[in-house]
Amino acid sequence: MATDASPPKASPDTGPAQPTTEEFVEVQESAEFAELRHAHRSFAFPLTVAFVLWYLLYVLLSNYAGGFMGTRLFGNVNVALVFGLAQFLTTFLIAWFYSRHAATKLDPKAAAIKSRMEADA
């Protein structure tokens, strides 16, 4: 029994044509894509570094400043609990802030690149 190992042919109505590898490389080297990459990196890298430093501060204070972290603020709530909850808060704030940044700065640029590539293909 012989089988055909070639991939099935796509019908014309399955979606937009796919760009070639050369077209992807050309877009990757374009100024428009460099601007998109810069907009992402200039946002993501500083916030990542800031959050990692904030997290390391929490870990180091927990390990080496037990007296300070154990200071009661009110009732059974101490500094360590407030710092721990602040970690969650900053995580959600960064995610929300990035979502806004992506929607306003990154998505329009990426959509323009994508639509141009699909139109050219």
Q: How buried is 57 (Cβ within 10 angstroms: 0-12 exposed, 13-18 middle, 19+ buried)?
A: exposed
Q: What is the pLDDT of residues 40-90, one digit of tens each?
A: 999 999 999 999 999 999 999 999 998 999 999 998 999 999 999 999 999
Answer for the pair 113, 36: CB distance below 8 angstroms, yes or no.
yes
Please say if the pLDDT value at position 9 is more than 50: no
Q: How buried is 36 (Cβ within 10 angstroms: 0-12 exposed, 13-18 middle, 19+ buried)?
A: buried
Mean pLDDT of the chain: 86
As given in the structure block, the two tokens for residue 85 are 């909850």
Question: For residue 90, which amino acid is it?
Answer: T
pLDDT at position 12 is: 55
Answer for the pair 97, 50: CB distance below 8 angstroms, yes or no.
no
| 69 contact partners, CB below 8 Å, separation of at least 6 | 61, 62, 78, 79, 80, 83
The pTM (predicted TM-score) of the whole model is: 0.71
